[in-house]
Amino acid sequence: MHTWLKDEEQASTKSFFEITHGCGRFEMTKKDANDNAMVAGSQITMEIILREAGRDIFEGLSSLVDVGGGHGAASAAIAAAFPHIKCRDLDLPHVVDKAPADGTVQFIAGDMFKFMPKADAVLLKALWDLYMMHLNGVERDERGWEKIIREAGFRDYKVISVPGIFPVIEIYP
Ligand SMILES: C[S@@+](CC[C@H](N)C(=O)[O-])C[C@H]1O[C@@H](n2cnc3c(N)ncnc32)[C@H](O)[C@@H]1O
């Protein structure tokens, strides 16, 4: 169960998040709670994508960079399922600084608008509700995405349906 502490409690603990599990009670800052939620969401999403369409999407690749990949949850899941793929994660320096370094994923600190590491494939993944917020609630259908993809100069694309979650769009240069 996850609950935000009440205002008067927050005043002394600065937006602490309370997580009560069967085995105990933990506290963390609101920012850490958001980061952890993003990592957990990414792990679940990737588990489904890898199970339902992993081969279709990732087989044949030898390198991949997850752009805006946060703490590397998606890259780590891909590397575990496809150990021959060299997985890298590009994110802003303050995010990469806090990423776990177990060697599975190589973290690169940088700005995607200034630098893009070379790789067979670039993964761009965001949680759907955040996407909707950033895009002012605009929900794009396939034709909307096709327009953006073609206007950006890409040759072709393929939509891969993943049961239970959003589809994956593969885009080819
Ligand atoms: C909504 S989160 C998505 C995290 C992850 N891809 C996922 O699906 O859970 C967006 C990520 O993009 C990163 N980001 C934002 N602007 C960036 C930029 N200019 N260059 C690289 N990463 C950026 C943020 O730091 C954040 O980790």
Checking 95-100 for CB contacts under 8 A at 24+ apart, the result is: 95/70, 95/71, 98/35, 98/71, 99/70, 99/71, 99/72, 100/71, 100/72
The predicted model scores a pTM of 0.78
Q: What is the pLDDT of residue 85?
A: 97
Determine which residue's CA is closest to atom 23 belonging to ligand 1.
Answer: 68
Residue 23: predicted pLDDT: 47
Q: How far is the CA of 67 from the centre of ligand 1 (A)?
A: 7
Contact 124, 171 (CB under 8 A): no
Q: What is residue 137's predicted lDDT score, i.e. its pLDDT?
A: 56
Residue 150: the pLDDT is: 96
Query: What is the position in ligand 1's atom list of the atom closest to the CA of 95?
Result: 25
Res 163: pLDDT: 87
State the distance from the centre of ligand 1 to the C-alpha of 91, rounded, in angstroms: 6
Predicted pLDDT of residue 34: 73
Give pLDDT tens digits along the chain (173 positions).
333 334 444 333 334 444 444 445 556 777 777 777 777 777 888 999 999 999 999 999 999 999 999 999 999 999 999 999 999 999 999 999 999 888 899 999 999 999 999 999 999 987 555 444 445 556 678 888 899 999 999 999 999 988 888 889 999 99
**What is the CA(70)–ligand 1 centre distance, in A?**
6
Q: What is the pLDDT of residue 165?
A: 83
Residue 127 Cα: closest atom of ligand 1:
8
The dihedrals phi and psi of 131, each to the nearest 5 degrees, come to -55, -50
User: Residues lining ligand 1, judged by CB closer than 6 Å?
Assistant: 38, 41-42, 68-70, 90-92, 95, 111-113, 125-127, 130
